[in-house]
Structure 1
Amino acid sequence: MLEEDSNRDRRRLPRHLRRPAEPERPFSYEIRPAQPGDLPDIREIYNYYVTNSVVTFDEKKWSLAQWREKYDYLTKLKLPFLVAVSPTGQILGYALASPWNGKTGFRYTAETSIYLGQAATGKGLGRALLEALIEACQQLGLREIVAVVSDKGAEASIALHERFGFVEVGRMGRVGHKFGRWLGTIYLQKSLEQPKKGLRGLFAQKSG
């Protein structure tokens, strides 16, 4: 035992005078549609990955104005944009669906994205957000959803999507470059249930 450890032991309070350790609070959250007030936290979550990982190929942090523009765009299209919120109001993670392509012929296909705050990883939140996002896409009437992930450092994301029925449908190598190295992309696709009669898919309001 080091001398400093021995000294620390001698300074400990008697057991009957020690303050009992507070029990760890259970991890809990609510998943709901995103609101404009959530965007600063969403920006911080995303920008962490911009500066520290290759799960996104963005190299510059997003501004709050960019997130407001994206929020307004997805809201206009009535696309799912979900957040997981702690009991204290902290945004723990988010999930959204974006148009796969701006052409109206792709209106029944969307691309999914999920990002978690660092304090919320490894606790099953990604699974809950993906499940909620899939359900929201089905309700919208989408037929296909696609996830595009980096071929480096995204093993957990790939495994999560595969557990929900996503199937790898293609790869592209060396199409991205970040942190001084070349990166590829992996495409995962999931077919959804037949949409109910009357559901429109994306961009249907623009098709004549």
Structure 2
Amino acid sequence: MIRPAEPADLAAVAAIYAHYVRETVATFDETPRTEADWRAKAANLAPFLVAELDGEVAGYAYVSAYRPKPAYRHTGEDSIYLAPDRTGLGLGGALLEALLTACQKTELRQLVAVIADTGSDASVALHRRYGFEPAGRLKNVGFKHGRWIDTILLQRALD
């Protein structure tokens, strides 16, 4: 089930994100966010959705501001994270589809995905299936776990 995130979900959201912070280069954060951090962040995310499976949060997705300057106000950046034991079940696609539908009710006109080039094409392939197109690559812009990481930019119109 895909539904809007609720305050009670934030501990699970924090735990899922902590895995990606500590174990991967999927995010460039180096310190996991606390539940309180997520509570503050959630106020600026729209939409913010969770995938619930067997009564537990199995993943989440949200749209945040792409850049802070006012002229970017109609462009958002999506983020999708799944519990490490819940990948490969179609939850990423379900979350992205629901996110795109929810974005239609906002003032957003463009959605950007900034994907760390981890060596896996899963995130890029997911976004491509939902109409995102390549928009560029930023080389060696992140340094984490002892290596330099590129980001891949994808973009989709919401009109």
Return the TM-score normalized by structure 1. Answer: 0.74
Partner Cα separation in structure 2 for residue 41 and residue 136 of structure 1 = 22
Deviation (angstroms), 1:118: 1.6
1:41 to 12, 25, 43: 12
- 1:58-114 deviations in Å (ceiling 9; x for gaps): 11111112111101232xxxx100001124x21000000001122221111000000
> Contact 1:147–1:187 (CA<8 Å) still a contact in 2?
yes
1:70 aligns with 2:37: no
Q: Any unmatched runs of 5+ in structure 2?
A: none
Deviation (angstroms), 1:42: 0.2
Partner Cα separation in structure 2 for residue 137 and residue 154 of structure 1 = 27
Matches within 5 A, 1:196-207: none
CA RMSD of aligned residues (A): 1.0
Give the number of the structure whose alpha-carbon radius of gyration is greater.
Answer: 1
Matches within 5 A, 1:113-132: 113-132=79-98
- Of Structure 1 and Structure 2, the greater strand share is in 2
Deviation (angstroms), 1:154: 4.0
1:145 to 97, 102, 111: 111
Q: Which amino acid aligns with 2:9?
A: D
Partner Cα separation in structure 1 for residue 83 and residue 136 of structure 2 = 28
SS in 2 for 1:55: coil
Deviation (angstroms), 1:141: 3.0
Q: For residue 121 of structure 2, what is the aligned residue in structure 1?
A: 155
Partner Cα separation in structure 2 for residue 192 and residue 120 of structure 1 = 28
- 1:135-177 deviations in Å (ceiling 9; x for gaps): 1111213110000001123410000100111011111111110
Q: For residue 31 of structure 2, what is the aligned residue in structure 1?
A: 60
Q: Percent identity?
A: 51
**Greater alpha carbon shift after TM alignment, 152-161 vs 183-192:** 152-161
Runs of 4 or more consecutive aligned structure 1 residues displaced over 4 Å after TM superposition: none
Return the TM-score normalized by structure 2. Answer: 0.96
SS in 2 for 1:139: coil
